[in-house]
């Protein structure tokens, strides 16, 4: 079990890119960091990188494939059994599938990994976060949510699919999830915010496939580094008073206005109810403070 006085941060998708440098920044600030990854070897290499660069001996790993809801549930059980407090949860893991694929549970893969999995993980860890007052939930969204279309009923198997439309849809889900969760939480206990990290030179776009993947590889040398891309995640995870950012969409440490669809409270509630059903939760499972 983690020491009662030590702050604990969970970072998903921490084996590379933004997640890796988010974990590094949190370790440098003295938090016990759990780096969640899918591949055991890559995640362990990332842990060593963070431990060596931060000088911290409080860097751990946990494994989960977010394409499987059972794996997410197992991850939550592992984290809850290992840590008596969770102060920060950074939902960073993400994917762009180059081809239409279904997750282990039969849902379109990009939305399953980027939106369904973090909703389930957050919900399963929420009681522990509430007991660790004050706690924070930070979700990495994207400007890619702008212009995305979303029908909660058909989002698991949409009629019209491209790698980028699926990614935009998943990021719209992230912003709406943040909006819905903020209404269910007391900001004095747990704050929740989402962010656009900037256009970051990570490997995620390499897997977009086709013209999109080619274009990503072409512009990648001109994009910001993953270390700079982690700056807003770190800001929201550590800012002295996070309450002004509760429910907000943040760019470069400033509150920004998301797309109109991302401000639609009715759509947020429809998404919440359908998402909860799909991952096996009651829609009111995270209600109350």
Give the residue numbers annotated as catalytic, written as ranges: 167
Rounded to 10 degrees, the C-alpha dihedral 108/114/119/122 comes to: 150
With 0-12 / 13-18 / 19 or more C-beta atoms within 10 angstroms meaning exposed / middle / buried, residue 166 is buried
Are 8 and 38 a contacting pair, CB within 8 Å? no
3-state secondary structure of 142: coil
Check if the beta carbon of residue 164 is closer than 8 Å to that of residue 191.
Answer: no
Tokens describing residue 110: 């990009």
> For residue 269, which of 184, 159, 142 has the smallest C-alpha distance?
184
> Using omega within 30 degrees of 0 as the cis cutoff, is the peptide bond preceding 134 cis?
yes
Name, in order, each residue with C-beta under 8 angstroms of 234's C-beta and a sequence gap of 6 or more.
Answer: 22, 25, 26
Q: Is 158 helix (H, G, I), strand (E, B) or coil?
A: coil
Q: Are 236 and 18 in contact (CB under 8 A)?
A: no
DSSP structure class, residue 189: T
For residue 107, how many other CB atoms are within 10 A of its CB?
22
Spatial CA neighbour of 228 closest among 210, 247, 259, 253: 253
Q: How far is CA 87 from CA 65, 198, 239, 249, in A?
A: 23, 25, 13, 20
* Residue whose token pair is 């994009």: 223
């Amino acid at each position: 079990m983690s020491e009662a006085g030590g702050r604990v941060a969970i970072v998903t998708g921490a084996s590379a890119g933004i997640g890796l440098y988010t974990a590094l920044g949190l370790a440098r600030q003295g938090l016990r960091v759990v780096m969640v990854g899918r591949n055991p070897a890559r995640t362990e290499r990332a842990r060593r990188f963070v431990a060596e660069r931060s000088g911290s001996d409080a860097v751990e790993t946990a494994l989960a494939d977010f394409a499987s809801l059972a794996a997410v549930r197992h991850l939550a059980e592992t984290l809850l059994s290992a840590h008596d407090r969770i102060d920060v949860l950074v939902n960073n893991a993400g994917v762009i599938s180059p081809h239409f694929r279904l997750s282990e549970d039969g849902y379109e893969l990009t939305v399953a990994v980027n939106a369904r999995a973090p909703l389930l993980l957050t919900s399963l860890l929420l009681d522990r976060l509430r007991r660790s007052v004050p706690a924070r939930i930070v979700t990495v969204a994207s400007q890619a949510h702008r212009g995305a279309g979303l029908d909660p009923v058909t989002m698991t198997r949409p009629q019209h699919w491209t790698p980028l439309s699926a990614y935009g849809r998943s990021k719209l889900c992230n912003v709406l999830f943040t909006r819905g969760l903020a209404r269910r939480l007391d900001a004095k206990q747990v704050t929740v915010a989402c962010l656009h990290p900037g256009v970051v030179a990570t490997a995620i776009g390499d897997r977009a496939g086709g013209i999109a993947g080619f274009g990503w590889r072409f512009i990648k040398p001109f994009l910001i580094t993953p270390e700079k891309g982690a700056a807003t995640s770190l800001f929201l995870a550590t800012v002295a008073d996070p309450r002004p950012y509760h429910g907000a969409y943040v760019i470069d440490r400033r509150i920004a206005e998301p797309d109109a669809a991302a401000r639609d409270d009715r759509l947020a509630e429809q998404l919440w109810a359908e998402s909860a059903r799909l991952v096996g939760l009651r829609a009111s499972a995270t209600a109350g403070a």
